[in-house]
Structure formats: C-alpha cells, structure tokens
Amino acid sequence: MPSTKNTPQSQVKPFLKWAGGKRGLIEQLFSKFPTDFNNYHEPFLGGGAVFFELYSRGMLKDKKAYLSDINSELINAYNVVKNNPNKLIANLELYKKSHNKAFYYETRALDRLESFKSFSKLKRATRFIYLNKTCFNGLYRVNSKGYFNTPIGSYKNPNIADKEAILNASKALQNAVIYSDGWKGRGIMAS
C-alpha cells in the first residue's frame, strides 16, 4: 500500500450504493497507485469509493480532483451533496417517512413526466438518492427511453438519509470539480 506524506482525514465513505463499485477492492487498487501525483481524474465516478479513500488517506491535500461520469443524474446528486447537503438530508428524511412500495414506484415514475426536466436540482438529487438506497442492489438501470426501471429492493430499514455520510462527502467534495462527461478514452488517472 502506498505511503502518504499527507495527514489522513476522517474516514469518508460513499453516500451511494453502486453496482460495480470499487469499495471492496480498495486495498488491492491502492497497492498499484502512484504515491506522487499532481491532480486526480475520475471519469467513471459511480459511488466514488476511490476518490473518498484518497481523500480519507490525505492524498488529495493541495491537489485538484476532477470527478465525472456520463450519468448526469449521478453528477447532479454529487453537486447537491457538495453544495446543499443540509437541505438534501431534510428532503431525504421526508422521503424516508413516506417510504413504502407505492411511494417507491410513484417516485420512480417521475422521470416519465414532461415536467421532470424542470424539477429543481435538489428534488432530482433527493429522488436519485432515495431510489438508489431503496432499489434492488443499488442498481442504476434505465430502459431504451432513458427511464429509471430498477424494481424496489427488499430492505427492512434502508438508510435513506445517511446524514454522516452525506456531510462527510460534502466536506470531501469542496475542492473537487464535478461534471458530466462521456468517457472519451480516459481511465482513472493521476496527472
């Protein structure tokens, strides 16, 4: 595992579940990572496990992180976590109180409305995180029309409004540039 010259931060974990996430592979990945780099680029952000681990280990101190993903709803959620975590948590608490099968499917169907494109960033991020925490295995799947179609998961008490994870992620994201982008031939890299 690479040593770090920087002081470790508090442990920050992803605020989302993400199919294909790298959280379980962190130690294996970090044994291959460079210890000296200028900036961090993550074009397949997903749950952000690698970014949050780099931050937690103090490896991003005085560095710029460029975080992107082709999924614009995911990127919107990250930007809301970064810029408006307290209102997001309050909204997620309301969704948590309303959570049941009918509410899940009503919420899932919102992207089929013409007005969905005019929803506030906060409302779209709340919906996105709620669906992520309550859908089957955190799987983000859309149909050919781009509508989210993952069925509800069978969780007894899903952690819909994970206040600690969201607030810690918000702090970690403060110096990150977050944007929606296609792959364009890049991978995880440091420059």
* pLDDT reported for residue 76: 97
| This prediction's pTM | 0.89
Query: In CATH, what number is assigned to the domain containing residue 148?
Result: 1.10.1020.10
Token pair of 29, please? 């990945």
Q: Which residue has the tokens 């007005």?
A: 115
Domain that holds residue 24: 1-191
Tell me which DSSP letter residue 12 carries: -
Instruction: Kindly state the helix (H) or strand (E) to which residue 39 belongs, with its residue range.
Output: strand 39-42
Q: What is the mean pLDDT of residues 121-143?
A: 96
Please report which residue ranges of the chain form alpha helices under DSSP H.
26-30, 49-56, 72-83, 85-98, 101-108, 121-134, 163-173
- Which pLDDT band holds residue 124 (cuts at 50, 70, 90)? very high
Q: Provide the residue type at 82 as one letter.
A: K
Q: How many domains does the chain have?
A: 1
* pLDDT reported for residue 98: 97
